[in-house]
Structure 1
Amino acid sequence: MNSSLLIFILNILYVSGWRDLKVRRFSDDFLFGAATAAYQVEGGWDADGKGESIWDRYLHEHPEVIADGVDGDVASDSYHNYKRDVEMLRELGVDFYRFSISWPRILPTGLPNQTNEKGVEYYNNLINELLKYNIQPVITLYHFDLPQKLQDLGGWTNELSVQWFEDYSRVVYEKYADRVKYWITINQPSTVCVDSYGSGVFAPGIKSSGFGDYLCHKNVMLAHAKAYRLYEKEYKPKYQGSVGIALSLNWADQLTNDTQNVEATDLYREFTLDLYLHPILAKSGNHPAAVRKLVARRSQEQGYKKSRLPELSAAEVELLKGSADFIGVNHYTTVLVSKSNKQHPKPSLLDDMGVDLSYRTEWRKSHSEWLRSAPYGLYKVLMYVNEKYDYPKFLITENGWSTSTGLGDQSRADNIREYLLALQLAIEDGSDVMGYTAWSLMDNIEWIAGTSERFGLYEVDFDSEEKTRKPRLSAFVYKRIIQKRILEPDWLPENLEISITQKVTREEL
């Protein structure tokens, strides 16, 4: 079946409900999991010697940026409820749990001069509880929560951050590598840099687009590579684990097929996909040539003596090449790209790219403004990476959907099945995919959205002292998929605990 036909099937399936009747089965060795991130669920922001993170500082100083005013001080209180979290994972029947280590919970100063043993103990307890029930821990070393003491020194724009991260990684490997086989170095370098040091909408709120985000990019990518090489040299021979990186790989299609929009879309993909993939997967390494040339030219036009995108030395290019045993794919949505005629601030990433983004009207809307359902995009982005980088190994590290409160989340259940179908089609066409991770195990603090956007398979009652968790419809659907290893579009559980004001229906929620 050719790719055009597959995309046609996915679009018709989504828009009209028409079905491809072939029953596809996930292989027995295909892994299913669920994910969270430390700041979003742990709480205990200053408990037992934990240091301050950039998110602690940012949301304490700027509570006005949070949609509903709820920060991560307590969150889902997984710091005290980790056994319930593992119980939920057992209920789902997952193979693995992807969670992140809070850097300042382990190293309060960010540096290895001081280790917080209570923090070390917390993750030891969580790992051991998972393994007791044959659930593999998949650890993310960094998921946005830089120690504030390191941010005071420039954070990811300081080239010393590469060494800071390598030192931190060594501490974590020493503590847990004997039991953890799967590692992710850094989650979404694009978010770490573009949203935090570019637009400034994420902590630490640095607005330096077109400059600070590029400085951050080089350091974050080199930090990833250093952590990978450290494991490869000192821990892999003994423990035989795998280390990857989780990238935001959302798809982009051109708004129309005219030349300007096709070229704009190609460039947008270079900036949002290849800027992160090319240094690791391309045989030549380095940043994509199109990005290097464009930013260098724009920088010269703007009076800079050097490109605002820092160059990689020959040694750095070699360090990055091949620095991933798998590519983690965080995929949520698809955008439409057109050439922009707007005047953007100079310098800025938007000015460098020169594009506008939009969505198709028929794509189902989530509870998040940025998130639309377009399952074919997952197939397309995997095919794009396959064709450009010779079929690397993938792990879908995040895929999710936001709703409001309530247990009858039919739209999330549908979204899981639709995206998993797209994934099955990608596997049929040769994609090497280890597994799939649902985002998120439970409702969490969705960064500046607070608790206003719910991504959880389990609903969290943030008003209760216990932060009570209850399974949504999607949890039962996901459990069924894991058990049967097939997709059943109409399956619903016989019983579901729901509030007296709600019903589980086929209606979009």
Structure 2
Amino acid sequence: MNKQQLTFPEDFWWGSAWSAEQAEGRGETGKAETVWERWYKEQPYRFYNRISSEVTTDHIHRYKEDVQLMKDTGHNSFRVSISWARMFPNDGTGEVNPKAVAFYRDLFTEMNNKNIKVFANLYHFDMPAKLQDKGGWESREVVDAYANFAAACFKEFGDLVYHWFTFNEPLGPILGSYLEDFHYPNIIDFKRGAQAAFFTILAHAKAISAHKKQKLPSKIGVILNLSPTFPRSQNPADVQAAKIADLFYTRSFLDPMVKGEFPEELTALLKEYNQLPADYTAEDLTLIKENTAQILGLNYYEPRRVKARLTTVNSAGPFLPEWFFENHIMPGRRMNDYRGWEIYEKGIFDLCMDIKNNYGNIEAFISENGMGVADEERFMDETGQVIDDYRITYIQDHLAYLWKAIQEGCNIKGYHLWTFIDCWSWINSYKNRYGLVSLDLPTQKRTIKKSGEFYKQLSDQNGFNYDIDLLV
């Protein structure tokens, strides 16, 4: 064994992340119905154990206790999202809600008083339902409503927020709503999805433009879920399949949001199959070009492995990215069987090197990384603490490769775990737990897990001991 202290850069951001819809609960401030609340009313059987987002982790009532728990688990930074539906309870438009402003100002002030930097994200899957009725991200009216929401947030909270983010995982709602049936309104139509993706990118640019006008000291960027794409082999057909998959799932948002331009090969492919969005202007493209991310959040959970298709595409079926590749199950892969995701720690290094080499080494941080495990009560000791050594190992193994990336010159400023306290996970509800702090749902009691104690030590020491012979 060759153990040594892996020390991270000075002022490294240690923290975690969650979102408004997954943690706050509805509360009494006034809030428009979101797409998740509507979907639960229409199809409650799609949600694990029929648990809605009505209460979740009840953060809106317990935020002072929670901020202290952030401090107790080593946080010097934390990412929240601001609920559009709460800020504008009149269906996402109209007058700003003073009760929502008071809540977020109190929360952010409490965090700042505890020396916890506020990372504020503007959109995390929680479209007001009435705006979805107007077309959601397919609608210019909704893009303008989002830009108005963003400008209001900059005005109300600009003095309290350290960094801003326009979107978390903007690819997610496109995949879920238009291609893969895991987001409301469950449409299967690639071309409509392409339009929604384009307008999401336009909304990102408009929010950045509004942020610039406020002349705030904070930076603004975006958080993307990115997986390095690996071909099954170096056979040219496999390599081409991986390249196309990477265009769809990585470059589609990364290039326009960071570089201000769309990948030419992806544009040509979509044009060939008549899948380009119909509504866009030269002015839109200029706005996107001139308003790009100043900082980049990287959500990394698993690699993407693909191979050349072995079967013929049904051309009468809906157009999908999988027309050009198939997923590859690598023999011998390690899995988190609870979530169905491969565990491949080196992927975090590969991702950071891609950003360094191909995106100007933009200032970046790991904005999500984590391990969801079901039935964690199995691992409780007699005091009720979850002894989650598996999560500690997962964090250490990923951080070791992140440390290696920093040694290679990657401009990585921090690491945020998903998540802080066990929170509600969309249609999975509380099936898998990710937190540094466990939640007893009936009583809302919070208990720091063993991983939460480790995280505090990690933050205090700004590193940890690790056998670097394990790095390849």
TM-score (norm 2): 0.92
The structure 2 residue matched to 1:373, chosen from 320, 327, 343, is 343
RMSD of Structure 2 on Structure 1 (CA): 1.9
Conserved 8 A contact 1:295-1:309 = no
For residue 285 of structure 2, what is the aligned residue in structure 1?
Answer: 317
Determine if contact 1:248/1:330 at 8 Å carries over to the other structure.
yes
Specify the alignment match of 2:85 in structure 1. Answer: 104
1:95-494 mapped onto 2 (5 Å cutoff) = 95-202=76-183, 204-232=184-212, 234-236=213-215, 239-282=216-259, 285-299=260-274, 307-310=275-278, 313-321=281-289, 323-342=292-311, 343=313, 346-369=317-340, 371-404=341-374, 405-406=376-377, 407-464=386-443, 467-489=444-466
Amino acid at match of 2:350: K
Question: 1:448 is matched by which residue type in structure 2?
Answer: I
Distance of aligned partners of 1:359 and 1:212 in 2 relative to their CA distance in 1, 3 Å threshold: farther
SS at 2:393's partner residue?
A: helix
Distance in 2, Cα, partners of 1:310 & 1:250: 29
Measured in 1, the distance between the counterparts of 2:450 and 2:309 equals 41
Q: Quick one: distance in 2 between partners of 1:309 and 1:349?
A: 15
Letter in 2 for 1:30: F
Equivalent residue number for residue 383 of structure 2: none
State the distance in 1 between where 2:448 and 2:299 align.
Answer: 23
Identical positions, percent: 26
Q: Determine if contact 2:190/2:320 at 8 Å carries over to the other structure.
A: yes
Structure 1 stretches lacking a partner, 5+ long: 1-18, 300-306, 491-509
SS at match of 1:348: coil
**Alpha-carbon distance in structure 2 between the residues aligned to 1:411 and 1:469:** 20
Aligned residues: 455
Are the aligned partners of 2:119 and 2:162 in contact in 1 as well (CA < 8 Å)? yes
1:412 aligned partner, one-letter code: R
Matched, 1:32 2:14: yes
> Which aligned pairs between 1:59-70 and structure 2 lie closer than 5 A?
59-70=40-51
Are the aligned partners of 2:227 and 2:302 in contact in 1 as well (CA < 8 Å)? yes
Q: Name the SS for the 1:131 alignment partner.
A: helix
Task: Give the deviation of 1:92 after TM superposition.
Answer: 1.4
How big is each residue's C-alpha offset from its partner over 1:162-192, in whole Å with a ceiling of 9 and x where there is no partner?
2111001111111100111210111111002
Shift of 1:360: 4.7
Does the CA-based 8 Å contact 2:400-2:466 persist in structure 1? Answer: no
Report the Cα offset of residue 366 of structure 1: 4.5
Q: Check if 1:43 corresponds to 2:18.
A: no
Query: Structure 1 residue 44: deviation in Å?
Result: 1.9
Q: Deviations over 1:42-79 (max 9, x none)?
A: 1126x332111111101221111112221211101111
Q: Is contact 2:346–2:401 with CA below 8 Å preserved after alignment? A: yes
The whole-number CA distance in structure 1 between the counterparts of 2:206 and 2:154 is: 13
Secondary structure of residue in 2 paired with 1:272 = helix
1:346 positional shift: 3.5
Q: Distance between the aligned counterparts of 1:153 and 1:353, measured in 2?
A: 33
Q: Report which structure shows greater RCO (CA 8 Å, sep ≥6).
A: 2
